[in-house]
Amino acid sequence: MEPLSYYFETYGCQMNFAESSAFKATLKERRWREAETAEDALLVIINTCSVRETAERRIFGRLAHYAALKKKRARQGHPIFVLVCGCMASRLGDALSKHGADFVMKTQEAAIFSRLLAEIEDWTLDKTRPLHERFNDENDYKDFSFAPSHHEAGAFRAFVPIMSGCNNFCAYCIVPYVRGREICRPPAEISAEIKSLASRGVREITLLGQNVNSYAYNDVDFPSLLESIARETEGSPIKRVRFLSSHPKDLSARTIQVMKDHPVFCRHLHLCAQHGSNRVLAAMNRRYTRERFLELVDAVRTAMPEITLSTDILVGFPGETEEDFEQILTLMERARFLYAYMYHYNPREGTAAFDLPGRIAPDVKGARLKLVIDLQMRHTAELLRSRIGETETALVEAVSRKNGRELVCRTERDEMVVAEGEARLIGSFVKIRLEALSGNTLRGRFVE
């Protein structure tokens, strides 16, 4: 029998991409073949994001596209099935069936994936039998389950989820409602996956969680986990470890010290500020102040002067005044982030902020966001320009899409560098002299 084919679309955060890699591993184990296009696939899998309304609108557009493709394929006698998984599946559930989804799999239901594939495999042998849309009783699979591996075959970088869910309930955020409460992965499972990745020659891993700093499994907290990972990666092909996301309220002095003591941890930290006004931070339920955030920035830089920081900035939260907004800009001036994910407030039904009064007009939100972006672009350019003339170790990631003779590299500080070189260097660490700046990308030259 010919291998059955699938096509994957993944949207959203790194956790979604990690989970998609785990699903692909299951498909490979069951001898499914990845199709080059959706038109050639029996099963289309869409791993979705619900963080912003725009993300969901995009998925509805993709479902409309596949609804039309399904009709075309049906006329040709070649059916196609659509599986929607991820956060949007958790938020909307079976309502997605009205938009053309044949199967809906919530984040907590990942364990049924193999059963779903078996159902389709059996159907291909006997197309007179009906397909089930649901595979589990309400009482099954109450908890999120971690896959044993999240490695994309052949990749030299990998995501390693250490926890899922979130207990913070920030007023604007849908994540705790679609991913559930925090569930921490057993340290032994994390260790086993890292050892497996090392045996496959992986060079860099990123530990993932909605809030990695709150990791706690029995008597193992996050800094203890980092210490054990530092020991396990010593002498292995894994030379770099990153982690995200970090919530400022849980970033401890011990975590900073462990980063300082072990060079395997990259000199870059993503620390989500979200805002610069104490009044707005309180309304967001962030549970730290502007002053505390800046204390953390100072503590990190005192321990590791060479470190770079990145962040998230949200403008236009309900009730945000001009004075509140100005405090975003002054916090950015003080912290000087290498880069930032910047966006304006997007109401998400079901969150605490959805019913708050004082929504900011779209044109005001847009104008404020532009000021934030302009300031960040200036900081990024200044920080990168200050690096010109230095020599840095970088991991070669890929051939440049703009120029086939150039390679895209990444420093441990999360700076992108482009240099001429041969594709055989991909996946290796190289010394590179930083010589110029083009946009937000450094240009360099490989040195011995």
| Confidence class for position 342, pLDDT limits 50, 70, 90 | very high
Give the residue carrying structure tokens 């993709």. Answer: 62
pLDDT tens-digit series, residues 106-119: 988 888 899 999 99
Boundary of a domain, candidates 360, 385, 410:
385
* Amino acid 135: pLDDT: 54
Q: Are residues 305 and 198 in the same domain?
A: yes
| Secondary structure letter of residue 271 according to DSSP | B
Average pLDDT value for the chain: 94
Measured CA angle at 17 (ends 29, 245), to 5 deg: 135
Flag whether pLDDT at 1 surpasses 90: no
Mean pLDDT of 327-337: 98
pLDDT (0 to 100) of residue 142: 53
Say whether both 215 and 359 belong to one domain. Answer: yes
Confirm whether 264 is domain-assigned: yes
pLDDT at position 35: 96
| CA pair distance 414, 363, nearest whole angstrom | 33
* Pick from 50, 49, 52, 48: nearest CA to 83: 48
- Mean pLDDT on 248-277: 98
94 plus 183 within the same structural domain: no
Contact, 103 vs 110, CB < 8 A? no
Mean pLDDT of 403-417: 97
Residue 140 lies in a domain: no
| C-alpha torsion angle, residues 26, 29, 30, 32 (rounded to 10) | 80
| pLDDT for residue 100 | 92
The rounded radius of gyration (Å) of the Cα atoms in the chain is 23
Query: Is residue 132 situated within a structural domain?
Result: no
Measured distance CA(434)–CA(415) in Å, rounded: 11
Asked if the structure places residue 92 within a domain, the reply is: yes
Q: Is residue 243, in this structure, part of any structural domain at all?
A: yes
pTM of the model: 0.92
Helices 290-303, 253-261: crossing angle, 10 deg rounding: 20
257 token code pair: 């010290």
> In the predicted model, what is the mean pLDDT of residues 3-30?
94
Same domain, 378 and 395: no
- What is the domain count for the chain? 3
The answer on 95 and 214 residing in a single domain is no
252, pLDDT greater than 80: yes
Given 84, 107, 125, the domain boundary residue is 125
Domain final position from 79, 105, 125: 125
Burial class (CB in 10 A: 0-12, 13-18, 19+), 387: middle
Is-contact 322 368, C-beta < 8 A?
no
Whether 143 is covered by a domain: the verdict is no
Evaluate whether 328 touches 374 at the Cβ level (below 8 Å): no
What is the three-class DSSP state of 210? coil
pLDDT given for residue 231 in this prediction: 97
Q: By three-state DSSP, how is residue 320 classified? A: coil
Q: What is the CATH number of the domain that holds 26?
A: 3.40.50.2300
> Per the domain annotation, does 148 fall within a domain?
no
**Does the structure show a pLDDT above 80 at 57?**
yes
What secondary structure letter does DSSP report for 169? -
C-alpha to C-alpha distance for 359 and 166, rounded to whole angstroms = 26
**362 located within any domain:** yes
Task: List, for residues 159-196, the tens digit of each pLDDT value.
Answer: 999 999 999 999 999 999 999 999 999 999 999 999 99
Q: Give me the percent of the chain exceeding a pLDDT of 70.
A: 97
* Helix ranges restricted to H, 313-423: 322-335, 362-385
pLDDT at residue 110 in the model: 85
Supply the DSSP symbol for 274.
B
Residues 380 and 398 in one domain: no
If pLDDT is split at 50, 70 and 90, which confidence band does 45 have? very high
Residues 357 and 400 in one domain: no
Helices (H) and strands (E) in the chain, counts: 12, 20
In eight-state DSSP terms, residue 265 is B
pLDDT for position 134: 53
* Residue 246, domain CATH: 3.80.30.20
Give the confidence band of 395 by pLDDT, cuts at 50, 70, 90: very high
Q: Which of 299, 238, 235, 301 is nearest to 267 (CA)?
A: 301
The domain containing residue 31 runs over which residues?
A: 5-125
pLDDT > 60? residue 227: yes
Does 360 lie in the same domain as 212?
yes
Judge if 327 and 237 occupy the same domain: yes
